[in-house]
Structure 1
C-alpha cells in the first residue's frame, strides 16, 4: 500500500507521556508505516502545528501503532507556497506511495494539492486548518470523491464573528485587506456579505499579492474610503507590511484580525502599542473535558500554552487519520481509510479519550467489529457529508505575553449568528 505521510524533513521524535500508558506496555511492531504531512514549518506559527501532529503520532506508537505497524512521521515544509506544497505532496504520493496526507494549512495551498495530487491519486487528505468554503462546494459537486476532511470550521464562522466585532464596537465603516489566494478571496467575499447583514458599510476591499516589495498603493486605496476600522485577512508576513503602511499613512488602530495573524511574529514586528484596539477571531475548542485534557497534555509536553492557531485541530487531524487507518486495517487504500472515518466518529460508538490509553482502547473495540466516538482536543468531532465540521468561536486580543480571550461563543451562539446572516 502507499504510505501515510505528514510531509517533509523529518521532525525530531517527541517524547510520550501524560497518558498513564508507557511505550513498554505497547506490543513491539516488526513493521513501520510512514505517515506524513505538508505543513509550513518555515514560519513561526507553523512549526507548533507540525510538532503537535508528531505528538499524536508518538502517543499512537505507544499504543502499538496503527494499521498493524509503528508509525514514522515524515514532514515536508510548504513554505505557505502553492507550488512548493504541490511538489511536496506529489513527492509523497508518487515516490513514497502515501495513502493519507495530513495538511495543508492555507486553503490556497490545500486546494491545488487536493485537485492536482490527492484526488487524482485517490489519497485521503485530512487538513487541520484550511477553511475556504470552496472545499465545501467541491464536495457538494462530488469533486473530492469523499477523500477530503478538515478539523477546522469553514470561513463562515470567522466572517460572522468578525461582523459581530465590528457591530459591537460601533465601527460603521470597515475596509478589507485580504491575501489574494483561495482563502483570502473566500474570506473577503463572505465577510463583506456578513458586514452588510450587520449594517456595517464596506468602504473598500483590496487584494494583496505575495512577495511585493511594498503594499503602500493598496493600503492607500483602502484608506481612501475613510473607514472606522480595517479587516485583515492576511498572513503575518504581508500582514506586518500592510499594517506598518496603514499606521504610517494615518490609518486607524481599530482592527479585526483573522486567526492567521494570531502570531508572535506579527505582534512583535508590528508592535503591541499599535494593536491595543485590534480584535482577533478564531474557532475554539468546546468547554469540554476532552479539550481541557488536551491543554494539560500540551502544557506538560511543550511547557507552553496551546494558544497558537490550529494546534488542537492539528492534533485531532493526526489522531483521526490514524484511528481511521486502524479501523480500515493493514494494507488499506486511501478510499478505504476515508470510508472508515464514520467508524471512529460514531455518536453511538464507545467513547475514547485522545491519548495513548484511548487509542489502545479503540484498537480493541475496532478489532471486535465495534465503533468508537473520538473525544478530542476540539471535542467530539463530527464530519458532515462534505467533510466539514462546526465549532464554537472566540474573540481574542494580544497581551504582553500571551493571547487574551475577550469572549467565548458556544456553538449554539455561533450557529445563531450565522443563521441570522
Structure 2
C-alpha cells in the first residue's frame, strides 16, 4: 500500500491527517474529526488510509464550511479499553463532534455507549456488523448518533450458509472470535445453516493471544464435520487453521470477510486454501463504485481489495457531507440529523470525489438536499443507522482474492427472509 507523505503523519498516540488543496490552503480555520481504527495491524492501516483519502478530497474542494479538516487518528489496537481511551481523548481533548470508528463491533460498542452517546458525538463506523447495534438503536440507546456503512452480520451469515449448501456440505463446525461480533455472527450462521438442512456439529469460541488452540480445535473436530466455518481475525485465524490441518481437519472452509487478508493467506499457505471460500458485502454494480476503484488505484497504486475500504471511504465522506449540511460549529446531534439531507433519494446526485463535494456544497447552500453516490453506491440508512448491501463469494489467489459469485441486493434480502 502506497502512503503519500501528506496522507498520514505522526505515530503512536495519535496521527493527524490533512491535505492542502489550493482551495483548502486559503482557509484560515481548521475543524478536527476523530478516527479510532486499528492501525497497528496490517489489515487496519489501509482502512485508515482510505478514510484519510476522503479527507484529502474534501480539503481539495475547500474543506467543510470553509475550514480545512484535520483528521486525528488514534490506534484502537482491536482492544476495547484502548479504543475507549482513544475515543475519550478525541472527544475530551480534541473536542471532536464526529468520530469515525471503530472496525471491530467489540470496540465500537463500548465507544458508542460510554463515549459518543453521553457526549452527543456522531459516530460513523465502516465495518462493525453486530446486530447488537440495531437492538440498541431500536431501544433508543444510540440517540440517533450511530451510523454504519457496513451491512449487519446477517448478510454474511445468510450468504455463508448459502455457500455451504451450494458446496454440498452436510455438516459444519463453527469457530468464532469470542467478542460481540463473533458471538453475533456465530449465532446467526448456526440458525441459517440449520434452516438450510445442514448439521452444526460444534460452535467453539476462540480467544485472542493464546499460545495454542489445540483444545478448541479438538472440540470442533469431535463431530467430524465435512467443513469448517470461521468468523475470526487473521492472526488467531491462521493459528487455528494450522492447528486444524495438523490434526487432520478438512480443507473445506467457509470464511467471513475478516479473513480476506494476505496475512492470513500467507501464514496458512495458499496450497491449503484451495477449497476455501469467503463471503463479504459488496458494492453494487454501479458507476459510482467503479469510479471509486479508479480513483483509489490512482491514489494508492493498488486495487482496493482489503476488507472495509469502500465502506471506510463512504463513512468518512458522508460524515463530512453531513458536517457541511449542518453548518459551522454544529454539534454532533446536528450533524447526525443532517445525514438524511445528504443521503436523500430525491436530492441532487453528487459524486464521491472533490468535485462531488463542491457540487454538494452548492446544492446545500441553496437550501436543497443531495443524493450521495459513493463507493458502495447510493447509501441509504434506515432508522437504526443500518444499511443493506449486495454480497460476493471470493477465493484466495497468489496475488490477493478473486470474485467467484456476485449476490445481488434482492437475492441477499430473499436469503435473509428465508425465501
Which band: TM-score by shorter chain? over 0.9
Q: CA deviation at 1:13?
A: 5.2
What is the 5 A alignment of 1:224-235?
224-235=222-233
Q: Which residue of 2 aligns with 1:351?
A: 349
What is the 5 A alignment of 1:22-421?
23-24=21-22, 28-420=26-418
Q: Which residue of 1 aligns with 2:7?
A: none
Question: Given that residues 23 and 59 in structure 2 are in contact (C-alpha distance below 8 angstroms), is that contact kept between their aligned partners in structure 1?
Answer: no
Q: CA deviation at 1:9?
A: 2.4
Question: Given that residues 11 and 51 in structure 1 are in contact (C-alpha distance below 8 angstroms), is that contact kept between their aligned partners in structure 2?
Answer: no
Aligned partners of 1:176, 1:247: CA distance in 2, in Å? 15
Stretches of structure 1 lacking an aligned partner (at least 5 in a row): 1-6, 16-22
Question: Given that residues 133 and 186 in structure 1 are in contact (C-alpha distance below 8 angstroms), is that contact kept between their aligned partners in structure 2?
Answer: yes
Question: Given that residues 18 and 55 in structure 2 are in contact (C-alpha distance below 8 angstroms), is that contact kept between their aligned partners in structure 1?
Answer: no
Stretches of structure 2 lacking an aligned partner (at least 5 in a row): 1-11
TM-score by length of 2: 0.96
Aligned partners of 1:417, 1:178: CA distance in 2, in Å? 22
The one of 15, 20, 25 equivalent to 1:10 is 15
Question: Given that residues 49 and 311 in structure 1 are in contact (C-alpha distance below 8 angstroms), is that contact kept between their aligned partners in structure 2?
Answer: yes
Question: Given that residues 8 and 38 in structure 1 are in contact (C-alpha distance below 8 angstroms), is that contact kept between their aligned partners in structure 2?
Answer: no
Aligned partners of 1:254, 1:95: CA distance in 2, in Å? 49
Note the alpha carbon deviations across 1:208-253, whole angstroms, 9 max, x for none.
1111111110000000000000000000111011001000100000
Question: Given that residues 160 and 189 in structure 2 are in contact (C-alpha distance below 8 angstroms), is that contact kept between their aligned partners in structure 1?
Answer: yes
Aligned partners of 2:133, 2:210: CA distance in 1, in Å? 28
Aligned partners of 1:338, 1:67: CA distance in 2, in Å? 16
Aligned partners of 1:94, 1:205: CA distance in 2, in Å? 41
How many aligned residue pairs are there? 408
Q: CA deviation at 1:10?
A: 1.6
Note the alpha carbon deviations across 1:379-399, whole angstroms, 9 max, x for none.
000000000001000000000
Aligned partners of 1:395, 1:177: CA distance in 2, in Å? 19
Aligned partners of 2:24, 2:91: CA distance in 1, in Å? 29
Aligned partners of 1:214, 1:113: CA distance in 2, in Å? 30
- How much is the aligned-residue C-alpha RMSD, in angstroms? 1.3
Runs of 4+ in 1 over 2 A off after TM superposition: 11-15, 23-27
